[in-house]
Amino acid sequence: MKDLAINIPRSLQTKAVNSSDDVSPTQELKVQLISITEDDAGQRIDNFLMRICKGVPKSHLYRVLRSGEVRVNKGRVDQLYRLQRDDVVRVPPIRVAEKSAAAAPGAEFTVLFEDQHLLIIDKPAGVAVHGGSGVSYGVIEQLRSARPEAKFLELVHRLDRETSGVLLLAKKRSALVHLHEQMRDGVTDKRYFALVHGDWKNARQHVKLPLHKYTTAEGERRVRVQADGMASHTVFTLKTKFTHYALLEAELKTGRTHQIRVHLSASGFAIAGDDKYGDFALNRALQKATNERGALKRMFLHAHQITFLHPESNKEMIVNAKLPPDCEKFLQSLR
């Protein structure tokens, strides 16, 4: 398989040094010397390398780090080293197979808000937020391809592949750090709409069930309720009640993987269309319309609102994403 050179983003290149002992037949590879700016300061060297060396497997980057080929200010560092402003990082020539280095196709998504610090989009259902676990690329890779001039673009948080709605991305490292601090301190407020099957009774209900992450024999990431799991808290508010369904607003008090889905499933109310924790017979039936309702061919879980403090102005921001047309159409059929 043909080897390809990894190209460091132009905005990070400061100087190229010829490397005579690692040259491909078609292209001369070069050592890159990268000056660390304020936006890049504070992050670990391994995370920095993963960002700038697109397509390189993590295992390969860690081997390069351990070998001492990556240097900071001409000295060796380990993977835990945190970059400082004006550090000079030496990145050696790195080869990866063409299949691994294939670029994601550029794509833009519906923008809910954007300035020099933030990009907030309305993620469609069925699109992963990042590549991995059998997915070649996701939202972040597609946006980076569409915006090659962007010096920094990172996910602030994640949404499940089948969940639609508000997704925050940081355009500066300082914004990313600030927003992560808000999430750790419980300053941010995330609200989701979920449609469940069953006779939901309470106008407002707290669910506090500890959650444990595990991996199946097939390598699939899953979550279950378990006594020694991570403390997890979701508040559900009834928005609209239908004959056999209920539209709920879920307020996350903690942010565990698959939290809303597992909390509802464990409470006896599966999210319509949930292919991991839902009612599989119901999901199959929902694929086709009946005289009583329309068809639903996705999981009905939508991140409709997030509230946070702007990382620069510190002013409160509330960003909303309307229900997607397919979800709205299904609700209309229930009415």
Beta bridge partners of 5: 95
3-12, 57-66, 173-182: range with lowest mean pLDDT: 3-12
Residue 218 has pLDDT above 60, yes or no: yes
pLDDT of residue 15: 46
Question: What mean pLDDT comes out for the span 274-285?
Answer: 94
Q: DSSP character for 271? A: B
Residue 79 has pLDDT above 60, yes or no: yes
What confidence tier does 52 reach under pLDDT thresholds 50, 70, 90? confident
Q: DSSP character for 202? A: -
Catalytic residue among 160, 199, 274, 275: 160
Residue 27 has pLDDT above 70, yes or no: no
CATH match for 110-174 among 3.40.50.1820, 3.40.50.300, 3.30.70.580, 3.30.200.20? 3.30.70.580
24-28, 144-148, 303-307, 309-313: range with lowest mean pLDDT: 24-28
The structural domains of the chain, with segments of one domain joined by +, span 3-101, 110-174, 184-334
pTM: 0.75
> How far, in Å, CA of 63 to CA of 84, rounded?
22
Give 178's Cβ-side CA count (13 Å radius).
19
What is the CB neighbour count within 10 angstroms for residue 147? Answer: 14
The chain-wide mean pLDDT, for the chain, equals: 86
Q: Kindly list the distances between the CA atom of residue 33 and the CA atoms of 2, 88, 95, 97, 260, in Å, as whole numbers in the listed order.
A: 26, 6, 17, 23, 45
Question: 47: Cβ–Cβ under 8 A, 6 or more apart, which residues?
Answer: none
Task: Supply 290's token pair.
Answer: 């009946």
Q: Which of 80-84, 191-195, 197-201 has the highest mean pLDDT?
A: 191-195
92-96, 162-166, 262-266, 292-296: range with lowest mean pLDDT: 92-96
Fold of 184-334: Pseudouridine synthase (3.30.2350)
17-26, 234-243, 325-334: range with lowest mean pLDDT: 17-26
Residue 137 has pLDDT above 90, yes or no: no
What confidence tier does 29 reach under pLDDT thresholds 50, 70, 90? low
Residue 271 has pLDDT above 60, yes or no: yes
H or E element that contains 25 = none
pLDDT of residue 96: 53
Q: Considering only CA atoms, which of 224, 178, 221, 200 is closest in space to residue 317?
A: 178
Q: Which CATH superfamily is domain 3-101 in?
A: RNA-binding S4 domain (3.10.290.10)
Q: How far is CA 233 from the centre of its chain?
A: 21
Residue 11 has pLDDT above 90, yes or no: no
Whether 160 is catalytic: yes
Residue 18 has pLDDT above 50, yes or no: no
Question: What mean pLDDT comes out for the span 162-183?
Answer: 94
pLDDT of residue 95: 64
Residue 134 has pLDDT above 80, yes or no: no
